[in-house]
Copies of this chain bind each other. A is one copy, B any other.
Amino acid sequence: MRVDVVHNVTKLNDAMAQQIRETLREKRIFCLNLISSPGSGKTTILERTLDHLRDELRCAVIVGDLATSIDAYRMAEYAPTIQINTDGGCHLDAAMVSTALESLKLDELDVLFIENVGNLVCPVGFDLGQDVKVGILSVTEGEDKVAKYPRIWREASIVLLNKIDLAPFVFFNRTKFYADLEQVNALLPVIEMSATKGDGVSRFCDWILREREDRLAIRR
């Protein structure tokens, strides 16, 4: 009984995500859905990335949080930002994104970043109409999070391994991280990053530019 309902909720969500996907394709907007635990550095990564892309692409951000608008205020310095407060909800869904899109000028956009609620589990199951999911792990969380939370790494198109500057201070086993990741998703690219220091940000931006070009070429 419960399973049926969950299934229906997902089906409704999928249909709405597909509509979002079609709208974004039509407007030639490349969309990334950023997923990680709380505190992995999503917001700082986005700030750096937006700053870096500023002259090349027109970006906007939809940011989801349970409460507060802390992240939106931080981001708004760099790009138009829409805050979604889920009021305790553990993930963004396509209906929330769809509503947020109404407040953005889609004709003036090249890239849309969606910063999901900090949660390595539930957001993975909800399609938001994105082109790619970006999975973020910080070294302070431990390399065992690859094996323990496999679904996000399976569905991601790229992994950002953040806070790499802290690796010497924590017991992060890099060999095990890469071995486990290869088991879950063999061809997944990884960018080692320190968002606070700026390392790896330009590599991520290059990846975004390339990936966006590739997808726009396919859509033609």
Q: 1/0 contact trace for A117-144 toward B, CB 8 Å?
A: 1111110010000000000001011101
**Contact between chains at B39 and A145 (CB < 8 Å):** yes
| A196 and B169 in contact, given A37-B38, A70-B147 (Cβ under 8 angstroms) | no
- Which residues of A in the span 73-128 have a Cβ within 8 Å of any Cβ on B? 88-90, 117-122, 125
Give the residue name and chain of the B residue nearest to A66 (CB). Answer: B149
CB distance from A120 to the nearest CB of B (A): 5
Return chain B residues, CB-CB under 8 Å to A66: 121, 148-151
Q: Does A171 contact B (CB under 8 A)?
A: yes
Partner of A39, one of B37, B65, B68: B37
Q: Which residues of A contact B (CB under 8 A)?
A: 2, 5, 9, 37-39, 65-68, 70-71, 88-90, 117-122, 125, 138, 140-142, 144-145, 147-151, 163, 165-166, 169-171, 196
Q: List 27 A-B contacts (CB under 8 A).
A: A37-B38, A37-B39, A37-B141, A38-B145, A66-B148, A66-B149, A67-B149, A68-B144, A68-B147, A68-B148, A70-B144, A70-B147, A88-B125, A90-B119, A90-B121, A117-B121, A118-B145, A118-B148, A118-B149, A119-B121, A119-B122, A138-B140, A140-B163, A140-B166, A165-B169, A166-B166, A166-B169
